Amino acid sequence: MEENWWCRVYANNLSERGITTPESAYQMTEVGILFYQILRLTASFRYALVGVEVDEFRTYSELLEDLPDLSIPGLVLAQNLTAEFETMPGFKQFNSTHIWRPYEGETYTPLKGSPDFKKQLDELLSLATI
């Protein structure tokens, strides 16, 4: 048994459905930065990732399996996880015990956030197949 533990942390009064407006992207980015500031003060975790729908991998073994090819912004890794790799391109020092791919913030995508835009695009794409 891998003894995997993970948690979901979210702030009150923020979207629980993802990035739906430019304002929610800004607010979630601000909360993301605050969370990374807290993480920087601790050494008692193997890996961490902040964002919306951050379920790229769910278990420690999945993380290790994908480790050489990971390029996820905001991913924080304990240095002992990466000891067998000569380099981890794109990763920088996070604190004395961890490295990370710097966080890039959250992004608002109008086609995902607006049902009207999505419908208009779907109509346009259906015309293109005629």
Among 56-65, 77-86, 96-105, 116-125, top mean pLDDT goes to 96-105
Q: Quick one: how far is CA 90 from the chain centroid?
A: 15
Inter-residue contact 103 to 50 (CB < 8 Å):
yes
Question: What value, to the nearest 5°, has the Cα angle with vertex 28 and ends 16 and 44?
Answer: 95
Q: Which of 32, 47, 42 is nearest to 96 (CA)?
A: 42
Task: Specify the range with the lowest mean pLDDT, choosing from 16-25, 34-43, 81-90, 104-113.
Answer: 81-90
Q: pLDDT by residue (tens digit) across 23-60?
A: 888 998 998 999 999 999 988 888 888 876 666 666 77
Task: Specify the range with the lowest mean pLDDT, choosing from 36-45, 75-84, 98-107, 109-118.
Answer: 109-118
Inter-residue contact 19 to 108 (CB < 8 Å):
yes
Q: Which of 89, 94, 8 is nearest to 53 (CA)?
A: 8
% helix, strand, coil for the chain, step of 5: 40, 10, 55
Q: Is the pTM of this model over 0.95?
A: no
Inter-residue contact 97 to 39 (CB < 8 Å):
no
- Kindly give the pairing relationship between strand 92-93 and strand 47-48: unpaired
Mean pLDDT over 64-75 rounds to 82
Task: Specify the range with the lowest mean pLDDT, choosing from 39-43, 90-94, 110-114.
Answer: 110-114
Q: Which of 94, 95, 97 is nearest to 74 (CA)?
A: 94
